[in-house]
Structure 1
Amino acid sequence: MAELVIRRGLAEPDTSGTFVPHKPERPEKSDGGRPFRIVSEYQPAGDQPTAIAEPVAAMGEDEQTQVLLGVTGSGKTFTMAKVIEELQRPALILAPNKILAAQLYGEFRSFFPDNAVEYFVSYYDYYQPEAYVPSRDVYIEKDSSINEQIEQMRLSATKSMLERQDCIIVATVSAIYGIGDPVDYHGMILHLREHEKMAQRDVIQRLVAMQYERNDVDFARGNFRVRGDVIDIFPAESSENALRVTLFDDEVESLALFDPLTGHIQTRVPRYTVYPSSHYVTPRET
């Protein structure tokens, strides 16, 4: 087993006088989640028990910075997974690029199949900024291509952070950049409950404000459709389940999750939270 080394007490950069963005209050977790439990046939060996015990002990002493050193193949990912299991805390894992992030995401998903392991990277498959070439007098327009699956995974990661305690986010360093106001995003969330008073027009208006599009023909992610007193919503962060809201007069009669391909009802739910279709939603100015 290659040697694993823990470095502690590293000097923190001086951030005095720097801008500190507004940090909104943490929303109440609607789903406590499950305890972190590794599913693996492997057991810590070699230097790994020490490399697991020291960070766990240091966290109890409020140690802010630690570095785990080891060559490729020394089991650093498994070691950090054991640290997460011991601490029972949500974790943010930053990788320098998408390739390494995807590798880490796959490994942590295999270690924690019963927990919310999410993937948060840039959703651009291709991005060309606008530019001007003076020598040729050529203006190049901005062009981009967005990967819808990655966009869905980003929104799923945001939902897990807001709802669950057992959350591990694997992201690239680009995640440090802002993507909108957290206060506005959280304020746009739509909470639906059975037997709650809410008119159909109000539900539709809220969905449109959350950047959902009405499409009664092509029911896809980020869309909703209306059929009489029934509103079907395909959540932007979901790839498997859609929500059916059945109204009676001005009351939510029932909520049910169904398969958007077959229309088969899977389960009824007493309440459901619909999240915005984009991170860039803003409330209407008053």
Structure 2
Amino acid sequence: MNELGYCSGIENYSRYLSGRNEGEPPPTLFDYMPSDAILIIDESHVTVPQIGGMYRGDRSRKETLVEYGFRLPSALDNRPLRFEEFERLAPQTIYVSATPGPYELEKSGSEIIDQVVRPTGLLDPLIEIRPVSIQVDDLLSEARQRADKK
């Protein structure tokens, strides 16, 4: 590091550079946010489960590397946050989802807001209700019209 200014793979030993103890959470952007920051998690029904999955996936891969001697055990501390750490360190949070999952519903309690305006600017399609008594003939007629256009 003294000669080149860098060392490939040094991030795997970041706990020594940051002075952390074994198992302590890594530094994150949360460390630099003001105490009144707001975290907005978009598509939270997908994002929240991925937060927990990141740690488990990273851990599994690195344990194999450590086991076979490709990394030192300290490499396990260069990692994503555990879900519990994320919950503890994250500032107040707004979960944004058209289909909130159980976690978001639990955390939000009764403070759930419906979004009335679609952010994409797309309009909802017009719904046409037709009588069920002629549905087969109607379907065939619609299919013929489409086929004639080609």
More strand by share: 1
Q: TM-score range by the shorter chain?
A: under 0.3
More helix by share: 2
Q: Which has the higher contact order (CA 8 A, sep 6+)?
A: 2
TM-score normalised per structure 1: 0.18
